[in-house]
Structure 1
Amino acid sequence: MVRKSKLFSGGLIATAAALVAFGLNTVGATATPTGDPAARAASHLGHTAAMMAAPAGTYVLADPQVTGVVPSQATPPNRYFHEFQANCSVTRNIPDDPIVYPGQPGASHDHTFMGNTTTDANSTQASLNAGGTSCKAPGDKSGYWMPTLYNGSQVIKPIGPQVIYYKTNLIDYTSVRPFPKGLRFVVGSPMATADQFRQDKGYVAGWECGDSYHNIDFPVTCTPGSQLNIRYQAPSCWDGKYLDTPDHKSHMAYPVNGRCLADHPVALPMIEFKMAFPVSGDMSRVHLSSGRAFSFHYDFYNAWDAPTLGALVSHCIVGGLQCDARGYDQTHPEAGAALNDQYVLP
């Protein structure tokens, strides 16, 4: 009762301060799941209380740091594609977040995890390296996770390998280098308002299903038999200094007019989630564990085998190809593939 009364008797100021300490936007903090009002209130209060109790994030230094980089101003020959896919299936649903709430099992809203099969609140670089993976490429032991989708109380999991693109939106696609081991970040915000979600630099086309497109909130109905889809892009310019920062965002930045800026000069692959959820028909009870549709966000913790990731980045992104998870472009068979039939380096 103490925690509840604190939230409702002047505690909103404390709550806002706590959220700011986490680098989260307090505007729209009342966004909660649709469905039963009591469930909405409990979900929001539980998540807010957990955020207030969680310790502040820390700076994690890159080792080695990348220094002396100047953002590329080059303009190589135009190639329409420069990408490859990481096809990864769902592994588990648990209320953990090893980036925002490290070492605190159950402190987060529920997340749907893909990629590494061991990801939980206690995950570290070492534990991810020792874990398995649901990705097609065994060398990708990265952790990928997002808020869980519900239809009422039923969990809706994406079925089969989901498309996680590694691409670039930089003019000089040849300047892109692989992620440093241990890089982690959060894309989007569970506290975003509808307008913030729409204007976010990671926004692509909103929520889609059937003949319904560019939705900020979930559509009222979706054509029966269709799927609910979303694409969302991550920042791709790195400061070269930190693998993580207290807000889990400020070490990364989006390009400006196709170029990285001097404070984030290192060009990295741009991750794009392309998720497909098998839910359709009446969508009135569909919600995310983090709240409304515009609270969608996701987390990434890099645990790729460095030579494997390096080969895919070099062959597909720098090479200007449209590759599958093997690093093979069907329209350019003469280029070969980065990986063999077992999705490992030849």
Structure 2
Amino acid sequence: MRIRGRTLSALLLATALGVSALSVDAFTAAASGPSDAPAVRTAVPSHTGHVMGASALPSGDDADGDGYIPANPQVTGVIPSQAVPPQAYFHEFQANCSVTHTASDDPIVYPGQPGASHDHTFMGNTGTNAHSTTASLTGGPTTCNAPADSSAYWMPSLYKGDQKILPVGPQVIYYKSGVTDYRSVRPFPKGLRFVVGSPMQSAQEFRSHKGFVEGWECGDSFFNVDFPASCPSRPDVQLNIRFQAPSCWNGLYLDTPDHKSHMAYPVVKPGTNDNMCPASHPVALPMIEFKMAFPVNGDMSQVRLSSGRGYSFHYDFFNAWEERTLKALVDHCVVGGLQCDTRGYDQNHPERGAVLDSDHRLP
């Protein structure tokens, strides 16, 4: 196998000598957002701590180290829905999770390589580390409201000078429909993982990214690509960002070498304003949206991410939900066209009831 002119043996030798494979052959082509093209079994760039590179080491769920983790079973024969369902302004629920820890680990990009990444702030599964696999995460303790959500969520850590600034309390993580036919959305397959955005993206690429919602904001300042120069120095003011993930899956792989190609954003149906999945990625899954709040304001000149400037923001998701609970929430809230809280309850439609009990568990 050859990777951009470098043989696998050369990369392994470099690693054995203590030289990062990333320094042997850096990639930069993934600075733009996720591609809508079908995944092909070729070497493609991956998101890393500071540069783009390819890992060829067997680790975790990727037994042969080729970067492809097949779904079992694979989902084939799906045709993207073009149907227009009954009007429902909302089709979502929240899976809010608190910060657990920080570490220079990334079990998606650098599986089995502790300390290889820039610093990340982790939420959800409390045991997430460089060695995390689907099996190790499943059923693990979590800071998410629902005990059934053992998924791992992480993003680059934020600093003000040398002080690390951690979000306080449960952070809002939406699961919503990204396609017009919200009835076609199905739960994530166990073990699905992906990266949203790139630490290598430019300011323009961040602004034009399909996941961009409102950028960085604080007080009355919105749509900032980089951190605002200052924010009002008030206790109620925090630095916020919202960013959406791709929600269309190719049905074949739980991960691909660039950690993106198996996923795609919805596309607009020609001649309409309706969103649908592309034919290359026909399976509609929930669209995750991070809505993060960092307790920092005042002079923002020293605020930075561990990955760089504000426009290097990106995040990772590794699904380890208990299947029955996730399906119940998706069916009731997303497919059901409701605006649900973390229990799967829509206060505007109390007659529809809640999915989870007062302990956030499926009855």
Shorter-chain TM-score bucket reads 0.7 to 0.9
Q: Does 1:25 align with 2:31?
A: yes
Q: Which of 111, 114, 127 lines up with 2:120 in the alignment?
A: 111
- How much has 1:25 moved relative to structure 2? 2.3
- How much has 1:250 moved relative to structure 2? 0.4
Q: Which of 171, 176, 179 lines up with 1:170 in the alignment?
A: 179
Give a deviation string over 1:50-92, Cα, whole Å, max 9, x none: x658547610000000011000111111100000000100000
Q: Does 1:328 align with 2:337?
A: no
Q: Which of 76, 86, 107 lines up with 1:77 in the alignment?
A: 86
Q: Which of 200, 217, 235 lines up with 2:246 in the alignment?
A: 235
C-alpha distance in structure 2 between counterparts of 1:278 and 1:173, whole Å: 34
Does structure 2 conserve the Cα–Cα contact (< 8 Å) formed by 1:19 and 1:26?
A: no
Give a deviation string over 1:188-217, Cα, whole Å, max 9, x none: 000000000000000001100011111001
Does structure 2 conserve the Cα–Cα contact (< 8 Å) formed by 1:209 and 1:228?
A: yes
More helix by share: 1
Please, which runs of 5 or more residues in structure 1 have no aligned partner? Answer: 1-13, 28-45
C-alpha distance in structure 2 between counterparts of 1:94 and 1:55, whole Å: 23
Does structure 1 conserve the Cα–Cα contact (< 8 Å) formed by 2:246 and 2:265?
A: yes
Q: Does 1:184 align with 2:190?
A: no
Does structure 2 conserve the Cα–Cα contact (< 8 Å) formed by 1:158 and 1:278?
A: yes
Q: Which of 141, 153, 159 lines up with 1:150 in the alignment?
A: 159
- The corresponding residue for 1:308 is 325
3-state SS in 2 of match to 1:19? coil
TM-score when scaled to structure 2?
0.83
- How much has 1:47 moved relative to structure 2? 4.9
- How much has 1:18 moved relative to structure 2? 2.0
Does structure 2 conserve the Cα–Cα contact (< 8 Å) formed by 1:16 and 1:26?
A: no
Residues 105-144 of structure 1 aligned to structure 2 (within 5 Å): 105-144=114-153
176-185 or 127-136, which deviates more: 127-136
TM-score when scaled to structure 1?
0.87
C-alpha distance in structure 1 between counterparts of 2:167 and 2:343, whole Å: 22
C-alpha distance in structure 2 between counterparts of 1:48 and 1:206, whole Å: 21
Residues 204-223 of structure 1 aligned to structure 2 (within 5 Å): 204-223=213-232
- How much has 1:168 moved relative to structure 2? 1.0
Give a deviation string over 1:77-130, Cα, whole Å, max 9, x none: 110000000010000000000000000000000000000000000000111014
Q: Describe the shift of the 1:55–1:24 C-alpha distance in structure 2 as closer, same or farther (beyond 3 A).
A: farther
3-state SS in 2 of match to 1:312? helix
Does structure 2 conserve the Cα–Cα contact (< 8 Å) formed by 1:338 and 1:345?
A: yes
Query: Match for 1:19: what amino acid?
Result: F
C-alpha distance in structure 1 between counterparts of 2:197 and 2:292, whole Å: 15
CA RMSD of aligned residues (A): 1.8
- How much has 1:19 moved relative to structure 2? 2.1
Residues matched between the structures, number: 312
C-alpha distance in structure 2 between counterparts of 1:195 and 1:70, whole Å: 33
3-state SS in 2 of match to 1:91? strand
- The corresponding residue for 2:258 is 247
